[in-house]
Amino acid sequence: MNNILPLRERKTDYIYIGFFLLNLLYITYIVDLEQLVIKNPSDFTYPLWPLPFLIDMVHWWGSNFDPLQWLRPVWWKATIWLDVILFGPYYALAVYAFIKGKEWIRIPTFIVMSILFTNVFIICSEEIFGPTPAKNLPLVLFANAPWALFPVFLIWKMWKNEHPFAR
């Protein structure tokens, strides 16, 4: 049995838990879910969820900065479905595992973070080189940076130590 460090001694894990919570509580089931619930952001009726002011925030970002979010091509929606079906449950499990120091999260982290990095790489490539580039590329890349960097950091954390929560 490994000597699991208490969370208070794993300071960087607070940052990862914050990332997981941001994604679970805002990105996945508000920002991303909106793009599945509303087919056409130019012509829609507000659904029960996400709430209207949250939808308005998502639409403001898409219409002002991120045309992919506004246009919602099929490949884009496929990445959103992955977020809702795969990443959301992972984030919930990861919050628990990181708080409690559960090592079973290692392999799912390799898998999910690899997919997340790949999705963000493809999205950013489209934002830069695609037919509908971002209106403010530096801002959009900056906004997407955590979803490119956190997977790298998390994979590194899990790779460098077979027991990432232990002494």
- pLDDT, mean over the chain: 96
Burial 135-154 (b: 16+ CB within 10 A, else e): eeeeebeeebeebbebbeeb
pTM above 0.85, yes or no: yes
Q: Give me 70's structure tokens.
A: 């506004």
Q: Residue 151's pLDDT band (boundaries 50, 70, 90)?
A: very high
CB within 8 A of 111, min separation 6: which ones?
none
- What is the band of 1 on the pLDDT scale with cuts at 50, 70, 90? low
Each residue of 53-110: pLDDT tens digit?
Answer: 999 999 999 999 999 999 999 999 999 999 999 999 999 999 999 999 999 999 999 9
Distance between CA 101 and CA 141 in Å, rounded?
A: 32
